[in-house]
Chains A and B, each alone.
Chain A
């Protein structure tokens, strides 16, 4: 092997909250090499120390609260021994970094071109005209459409994917030897994620730089990495060529991690949803998968949505004149049987969350009707809304924000029950205890505050709160999206168990196609506020009809390293805006039945 670009030996990084506390190591004795043209992925769940490792390499940790020990060599040079001034030249010079949040990594007060030109001029002594030329060349290199015009554009005018391209252009500006990519695609939609991953691969081939790729997503790892390092709570549990890790991971944690990754296509040929086979992280033994029950067909629908339309007026000017509207949800209709899971999938801005919120009237609909148990939820009747809200409950995406941090969790869970006056305090307490037990928490934890729980536990608390009113329908708005893969699988399994025993219907709103494939009976694909395809899960996934559905399926990263060198060849294209001028009449469309219960939108 040639001499590595980056060589890390016995890296231990410790933190302390203040000078009176002892050092706590968060990364222990890790070592790895990255050669030119090679991609090393560091993979692990939250708190595994993967980001701390990359920040240690960059020496970007606060000097007072952190301590880095060991050896970090970049092309033979010891980075830990460099004075801060020299290190600054290394950062953005020999090592470049791209971050997760393309929204916040760019200065909103400068045009994107100026920002990159500035970065170039900080490292190379060239004039401003030359820097401009170079910037435009870089924009072209990262396949930013209309590179010349983009120079004078401010970051807010760009979409998330375009911003990440700009960030990559900035990282490439100084022709780095090493690119550190810290979860660069986590905040992006799948179709955009695929494009960015392809771009990184292509640029690496062109420039021969080494890439250190930090991610939690095994699908992404399989796509990009030559070698993989698996981290667990600050330790490296396994490292080796990616194919080997995926093929026969030795450590039980690696196998558990891989087993928990939902794979698109793993449900082919099966009609019903199925629980995840969980792997014990200690022993590596695999639990059984269990098929879920079919929905109850002979009862009336618990939730019916007819021609639902939600628009947000956009006002501007001195007198707040309505200058247009965001057509967030446009003519959406579906129904939900008891015991059924209908998934709403689509990319950010497609209106899937707004649909869920409009059903519960957290957002006012523009037109259309929502029937809960056959009863219309109207704008005027408060009692109908109250009873609808008893029958339909919601679980939100962010388990950290959806619990009041000042209220003990027991009180949070009991609140809906007490507020709807369904019983006294003692009954509420008993029911809370029973539900906590039901979702896998100890009833003795009732008096604790939310910050004492992990993300997965909090989501269980939220589920318990939603169940407190004995609802018929639960709207799960990206309920498992923020969780680590192994926790995600557990929470999905819990939801499926509850569905079976309580006959719950779920409206499962998610952008994660692989999870959706696991849990749904039916799937509806949304694009620009409209349902473009709806049908049984097996039909939509195995025989997608609409061009957008096909594109969505193709973009999902596949956790299979053998497909690594494949390119998607998807066009560099961003999702269109749902903004419309006043008086815009949406084009008429009809739904064509392509197979039993499988409908595809066709424009007239």
Chain B
């Protein structure tokens, strides 16, 4: 028995070692956490994003206005911080809901051979719809709101999740431990939840970060095009759209939200890459 105990990997290697091995993941996670905290506490420190001060239009960054003001005399810093609320909310909600829906459909497609071709053809059709086009159509039909934007992004993301889950289920359902459970009389729902579902979690966590990043970009694009959330809500995309005419005179009005957008997407992707390496079974073997 001592032999097996020696062969077993050490449980946790300690925090410093963890930091040293995954610098990008830690950096991405830290930046993201800071931005999320700022977005959460925005009403308490960032000031009002809607107050217009016509006398102080297009001010350059100063001690009073950290990131200057825009063409209507609004505080760019306050608007960027408030804009993070919309971006992160869209990113998280889209990631969580597309995965929640995709997992269920993917498990059905992967496990039930009869359902598989039908579901996958529907998914192929959904995948052919561009998010931006769908959003413009939906906004034309319904009233523009954050919910409509999320729906428009979730629908084309679902097939990606379904494909991923299906491929994992297809390989795991043939695993001897799943067959052993069948032979032991384990009920189907238990087999699905207890023996198959956990294998899909690591790739899904990684996929979630990518969906999150792409949702943030799509949301910004929609806002830029004016097909996104209502114009009175400050978002990075609409800030860039409204300020682009003033780019030569007041570059901060475009660069501040643009930089915030790039930073968030980069952090999310760095976190995702780190998680992918961490959760890869071949890597964790060496931990």
Contacts and interface: CB of A to CB of B under 8 A. Distances in A.
Interface of A: 17-18, 20, 360, 362, 386, 389-390, 393-394, 396-398, 401-404, 406-407, 412, 415-416, 419-420, 442, 445, 451-454, 457, 462, 465, 468-469
Nearest to A411: B194
Nearest to A451: B8
A362 B179 contact: yes
Nearest to A400: B176
Category for how many chain B residues contact A: 20 to 34
B184 A415 contact: yes
> Which of B7, B9, B179, B198 counts the most A-chain CB atoms under 10 A from its CB?
B179
A454 B4 contact: yes
B55 interface: no
A444 to B, nearest CB: 10
A403 to B, nearest CB: 6
Contact of B180 (A406, A451, A465): A465
16 contacts: A362-B182, A389-B185, A390-B185, A401-B176, A402-B177, A403-B177, A415-B181, A415-B184, A415-B186, A416-B186, A442-B1, A452-B4, A454-B3, A457-B4, A465-B184, A469-B185
Contacts of A469: 184-185
A416 B194 CA distance: 13
Contacts of B181: 404, 415-416
Contacts of A398: 176
Contacts of A468: 184
B177 A404 contact: yes
B282 interface: no
A168 to B, nearest CB: 31
Interface of B: 1, 3-5, 7-9, 17, 175-177, 179-187, 190, 194-195, 198, 286
Nearest to B8: A452
A17 B13 CA distance: 12
A404 B182 CA distance: 13
Q: Which 5 A-B pairs have the closest CB atoms?
A: A416-B184, A402-B176, A396-B176, A404-B177, A419-B186
A142 to B, nearest CB: 35
B180 A394 contact: yes
Contacts of B7: 452, 454
A77 B236 CA distance: 68
Given A20-B17, A404-B177, A362 B183 contact: yes
Contacts of A420: 184-185
A386 B188 CA distance: 13
Given A402-B176, A442-B1, A419 B183 contact: no
A445 B2 CA distance: 12
A415 B177 CA distance: 12
Given A419-B187, A469-B185, 11 more contacts: A362-B179, A389-B183, A398-B176, A401-B177, A402-B179, A406-B198, A407-B194, A419-B186, A452-B5, A454-B4, A469-B184
Nearest to A454: B4
Contacts of B190: 419
A390 B9 CA distance: 36
A416 B181 CA distance: 7
B17 to A, nearest CB: 7
B51 to A, nearest CB: 54
Given A402-B176, A454-B3, A360 B184 contact: no
Contact of A402 (B180, B186, B198): B180
A468 B198 CA distance: 25
Nearest to A405: B177
A589 B4 CA distance: 52
Nearest to B9: A451
Contacts of B183: 360, 362, 389, 393-394
A396 B186 contact: no
B4 A453 contact: yes
A416 B180 CA distance: 9
Nearest to A406: B198
